[in-house]
Structure 1
Amino acid sequence: MTYTTITQFIGQTPLMSIDLPGRNATLILKIEKNNPGGSMKDRMARSMVVAALNDGRLKPGGTIVESSSGNTGIGLALAALEFDMRFIAVVDHHAAPDKIRTMRALGAEIRYVEGTYREDEVAVVERQRLASQLGAQLPGALFMNQSDNPANPEGYAGFVEELLTQLPEGIDAFVGCVGTGGSMTGISQGLKRHNARIKTIAVEPAGSIVFGKPGYPYYQSGTGTPAGDEVGKVLDYSCIDEGVQVTDTQAFETARYIARRKGLLVGGSTGGAIYKALEFIVAGKLSGNVVTTVADGGEKYLSSFFDDEWMEKRGLLDPSIADQLDGWLVNRARAA
């Protein structure tokens, strides 16, 4: 088959399994980094643009505006190219530099928020304010507002359909990251409509306020809801069986471990989801086919948490995490 637009490459991403010898479970990764923009956000970005075109909120030749830490912005840049639109991404210092470079390379206009923020502080509130302002002021512009946009979770219907086809033997649990709540809600609702017994575990960074814990700064990018911001209206708590937190160190060290042991470069939020999925399996809380997503690739973070000096400077290095993961995976395999 020959495609005519890059967005036609969205979806049909492969699976990779990680066996846990001696345990009644297999961890299955859906490699969403294989989407053309390098993340699962390609799905929802195009979904939001198509919905806005269909209901008239966007017109051909209009301007898309969104607050993004990078992945949604990259997906929207691709959709803007498909529909011949202008795209303005409102970002802060927390976005990975390579994500911003990618958006620029795809023709996006980058607007940084003003103000002084700590390195580990996410300026989501100011990003949202500026994006909303631009959407209201610029002729023919629309602020996508992914946190409250129902086309966000609707964009993951294809993900669920693919997964059910790829795993005809069944799915027992899904462990996913939660930020705006779009992917977690869309995937969990879809899976539970298929089988209400599928367990759904949502993972947020320690410091995020999604599940009511105290808020404080964190380094994980594109996930969680920082203190001072509001949890997205797209998040449906009723389809989530349990919400848990993962530390920056656990998330980043797991991503580094997966790269060195499995040859797979994953982002920090994915590292966190993998860590918590394994922790639940080892504790006997999950069994059978446990699915999580490689939400984006580690290629975007080579200058941050994949760099030893960057990790050490921020007090995030912890070799004991790799030892723990070896105990869960490698050592048990050798013993078997």
Structure 2
Amino acid sequence: MILNKVTDLIGNTPILSISIPAKNARLLLKIEKNNPGGSIKDRMARNMIVAALKSGRLSAGGVVVESSSGNTGIGLAIAAVEFGLRFIAVVDHHAAPDKIAVMRALGAEIRYVEGTYREDEVAVVERQRLAAELASEIPGAVFMNQSDNAANAGGYSDFVREVIGEVGGVDAYVGCVGTGGSMTGIARGLKVHNPKTKTIAVEPDGSIVFGQPGHAYYQSGTGTPAGDTVGLVLDYSCIDMGVQVSDAQAFETARYMAKRTGLLVGGSTGGVIYKALEFIHSGLIGGNVVAAVADGGEKYLHTVFSESWLKERDLLDPQIWDRLDGWFGQESFVETPRELPRLHAV
């Protein structure tokens, strides 16, 4: 197939099947890092710009402003090139340097928030405040505000269509939740096809999406930090369970997947895979379990995949590798986890 523009490369991503021994289940990883911007966010970024242009909020030659940890910004930068728009990304120190470099390479203007923040503190509130301020001051500018933008969730209809076409019946979907756009759009769509599909949303330990106490965390681009509010785009009614995953569980799983399967996944995807396996082995889900590889590990080589970086932050845990060996049917596993996953019914 010969395509005409880079955004035509968005979607139709492959699925990698991983069998789970003796559990009558398979983990189906939809490789969203194969999108041109390297993440699942390419889908909704273009959809938000198209919706803004169609509604008249955004005009030809206008300016797009957004707060982003990187992936949404990359997707918006690509779409801005397609439609001849100027794009300004508002970021903080938590954004991976490689993501910022990609945005710059695509022509985006980068604005950093000011202030003193801890390394494990995400400055989402200040990012959004600055993005809204810039959009109000620049003629022809629109703040995309992905957290409250209905076109965010609407950008995942093709993801659902592709999964149904490739997999058929989906028994469970496990995904990360940040703004809630991907989780809401995918969960809604899957439940239209099969209301019995179990939908499980994974947030970092320290995020406040499901009402747990907030504290700092290192997982980038996912969850809602303390001091911020959960976005209007998140629809709790289509989510069956909300659970938390620790930084160590997420990052060690990402490293495990690289060493054991050759697949580089980002930290938030590591958390999703960890929880999907935990649920499968506790008997809470089975059959066709779908999860998205939201982005690739290539953007986190100096953090998630750096042992020295992890060691300095006390995030190395070899017991997680032993547990994963067991879940994948390796001989090094010696006992099952003593506690079931912490579930928060919604």
* Common fold: TM-score over 0.5: yes
Q: Deviation at 1:270?
A: 0.2
Establish whether residue 245 from structure 1 lines up as the match of residue 244 from structure 2: yes
| Equivalent-residue separation in structure 2 for 1:332 and 1:65 (angstroms) | 51
Q: Secondary structure at the match of 1:331?
A: coil
Q: Residue deviations 1:21-70, cap 9 Å, x none?
A: 11111111000000000000000000000000000000000000000000
Given residue 188 of structure 2, which amino acid in structure 1 is its aligned partner? Q
**Partner in structure 1 of residue 114 of structure 2:** 114
CA contact (8 A) 2:322 2:332 kept: no
Q: Deviation at 1:330?
A: 3.5
CA contact (8 A) 2:156 2:185 kept: yes
Q: Secondary structure at the match of 1:29?
A: strand
Q: Deviation at 1:332?
A: 6.2
CA contact (8 A) 1:181 1:236 kept: yes
Given residue 228 of structure 2, which amino acid in structure 1 is its aligned partner? D
**Partner in structure 2 of residue 203 of structure 1:** 202
Establish whether residue 27 from structure 1 lines up as the match of residue 13 from structure 2: no
RMSD (CA atoms)? 1.2
**Partner in structure 2 of residue 174 of structure 1:** 173
**Partner in structure 2 of residue 62 of structure 1:** 62
TM-score (norm 2): 0.95
Given residue 257 of structure 2, which amino acid in structure 1 is its aligned partner? I
Q: Percent identity?
A: 71
CA contact (8 A) 1:267 1:297 kept: yes
Q: How does 1:1-336 map to 2 (within 5 A)?
A: 1-168=1-168, 170-331=169-330
TM-score (norm 1): 0.98
Q: Which structure 1 residue ranges, 5 or more long, are not aligned? A: none
Q: Number of paired residues?
A: 334
Q: Residue deviations 1:96-153, cap 9 Å, x none?
A: 0000000000000000000000000000000000000011110000000000000000
Q: Residue deviations 1:249-281, cap 9 Å, x none?
A: 000000000000000000000000000000000
CA contact (8 A) 2:325 2:332 kept: no
CA contact (8 A) 1:21 1:333 kept: no
CA contact (8 A) 2:48 2:152 kept: yes
| Equivalent-residue separation in structure 2 for 1:267 and 1:151 (angstroms) | 24
| Equivalent-residue separation in structure 2 for 1:173 and 1:316 (angstroms) | 29
**Structure 1 residues 333, 54: CA separation in 2 closer, same or farther (over 3 Å shift)?**
farther
CA contact (8 A) 1:150 1:234 kept: yes
Q: Deviation at 1:5?
A: 1.2
Range 324-333 or range 21-30, more displaced: 324-333
| Equivalent-residue separation in structure 2 for 1:184 and 1:292 (angstroms) | 11
CA contact (8 A) 1:205 1:247 kept: yes
| Equivalent-residue separation in structure 1 for 2:184 and 2:313 (angstroms) | 33
